[in-house]
Amino acid sequence: MALRTHTDDEVKERLTARTIETQSWGYVSTGTRFKVFNTPGTPRDVWEKIDDAATVHAFTGVAPTVALHIPWDRVDDYGRLADYALERRVAIGSISPNLFQDDQYRLGSLANQDPGIRHAALEHVAECIDIMRQTGSKQLSLWLADGSNYPGQADFRARRRRVIDGVQQIHEQLDPDMVMLLEYKFFEPGFYHTDVQDWGQSLAMCRHAGDRAKVLVDLGHHALGVNIEHIVASLLDEGRLGGFDLNSKKYGDDDLFVGAINPLELFLIIAELIAAEDDQDPAVAATAANVLYKIDQCAMVEDKIPAMLRSVGAMQTAFAKALLVDGDALREAQRRGDVVGANTVLNDAFETDVRPLLGQVRAQLGVEVDPLAAYLASGEQQRRAETRLGEPAGW
């Protein structure tokens, strides 16, 4: 990384302008493969999911958009839904098609050898692109669960060609100001192979699709020990980093709240992004400036809004620490080949207590110094538990 040194005013300005997207399915009943746990106050429909996203934004000042998942968030009038979000002082963010929860997708969606099923998948994505037009969304967030579970079950290259054909057709339907974010996952639910398994496969398919196809990096979708910050740096250099699904993992795709397991890794990833934003190459800087930071967590046992507030705070902490790196000292240590010195510069920033700085930033944003504590003291949690009776939403 080639970070530069930022002034105190620059740090505060960058932190107040930094936004993070929350996702509608992060507010609903979720759980393990064995049990979905319902908690008091869980939203019952997409309107209440937007209410919760608006609450998170009200307490943080930096979460102005909420991602939707279709058909989980399907309504009759998306213009009305977008207007309702604006009334609540948030907006509709990225749109995610669901190509994994229908019986017809048992053997894949875009990779399926049945042309009728591939057509159905493309029709669903076309529906989502139309929803983007109605809501003002600019990002299509696409994840394929396609893969196989046993040797001999599938023809790898034939499936790959079918996926490439599918993403090309999707790209052609996008409006000029829209982008497609193609996510990857190295295992599950196809435990023998996954059709879009890693960042290289996603990058190759994006190149086949077109200029507005970008790679989406889910922090949980990597094997243990994978250097995610290196992947991020490479995609930035290629101009193909489109966004993040932000969460934490201990083993596999755990979708724990952000920064819960390895905050150092999160800091190093963000440091690469800050360095790219300040890069002298306009193309690299533009790529970094347009990255989508979307939380993608499943609160299995924890309360939903507190978990989301915790994740937004973790992202702010990582950004603050990355902006405090002494870029001049880091470059000098790198120039001298001072391995210990360079690592010490990064470690000094990582170990800095940025809570006082974030308190100042939040004061500028007009929110409480401790958003989580303020929410818990507000009575909002109890009010939801008392008024939201009936069947909770879930996936």
DSSP run (H or E) holding 68: strand 65-70
Q: Which of 108-117, 176-185, 386-395 is predicted with the least confidence, judged by mean pLDDT?
A: 386-395
User: Residue 364: which pLDDT band, with cuts at 50, 70 and 90?
Assistant: very high
Query: Who wins on pLDDT, 391 or 305?
Result: 305
**Element (H or E) spanning 383, and its range?**
helix 380-387
pLDDT for 329-356, tens place per residue? 999 999 999 999 999 999 999 999 999 9
Give the tens place of pLDDT for each residue, 157-168: 999 999 999 999
pLDDT of 88 above 80: yes
DSSP class per residue in 194-250 = ETT-SHHHHHHHHHHH-TTEEEEEETTSS-TT--HHHHHHHHHHHT-EEEEEE-B-S
**Residues 279-293 pLDDT 10s:** 999 999 999 999 999
Q: What is the largest CA-CA distance in the chain?
A: 65
Domains of the chain: 19-303 (3.20.20.150)
* Higher-scoring residue by pLDDT: 2, 242: 242
19-44 residue pLDDT tens: 999 999 999 988 777 888 888 899 99
Give me the phi and psi of 148, to 5 degrees please. Answer: -135, 165
pLDDT at 223: 95
For residues 343 and 337, is the Cβ–Cβ distance under 8 A? no
Helices H / strands E in the chain, number of each: 15, 12
pLDDT of residue 33: 76
DSSP 333-380: HHHHT-HHHHHHHHHHHHTS--HHHHHHHHHHHTS-SSHHHHHHHHTH
User: Over pLDDT 90: what percentage of the chain?
Assistant: 91
Residue 388's pLDDT band, with cuts at 50, 70 and 90, is: very high
Instruction: Please classify residue 17 by burial: count the beta carbons closer than 10 Å to its beta carbon, then call 0-12 exposed, 13-18 middle and 19+ buried.
Output: exposed
pTM listed for this prediction: 0.96
Summary mean pLDDT of the chain: 96
The answer to whether residues 179 and 140 touch, using CB atoms and an 8 Å cutoff, is yes
How far does Cα 181 stand from its chain's mean position? Answer: 10
Q: Which residues of 244-256 are buried (b: 16+ CB within 10 A; e: fewer)?
A: bbbbbbeeebebb
**Residue 224: how many CB atoms within 10 A of its CB?**
8
Q: What is the CA radius of gyration of the chain?
A: 21
* Per-residue pLDDT tens over the stretch 92-146: 999 999 999 999 999 999 999 999 999 999 999 999 999 999 999 999 999 999 9
Reference 111, options 136, 137, 145, 86; nearest CA is 145
Helix (H) or strand (E) holding 69: strand 65-70
- Size (the chain), residues: 395
Helix (H) or strand (E) holding 305: helix 304-323
Is residue 301 pLDDT above 90, yes or no? no
Rounded CA-CA distance 65/22 in Å is 7
What was the pLDDT predicted at 37?
Answer: 85
- pLDDT at residue 359 tops 80: yes
**41 conformational bin, left if phi > 0, alpha if psi -120 to 50, beta if neither:** left
pLDDT of residue 38: 85
- Taking alpha carbons only, the member of 180, 212, 211 closest to residue 95 is 180
Task: Provide the pairing of β-strand 292-295 with 147-148.
Answer: unpaired
The sign one gets for the Cα dihedral 73, 74, 76, 81 is positive
pLDDT at 115: 98
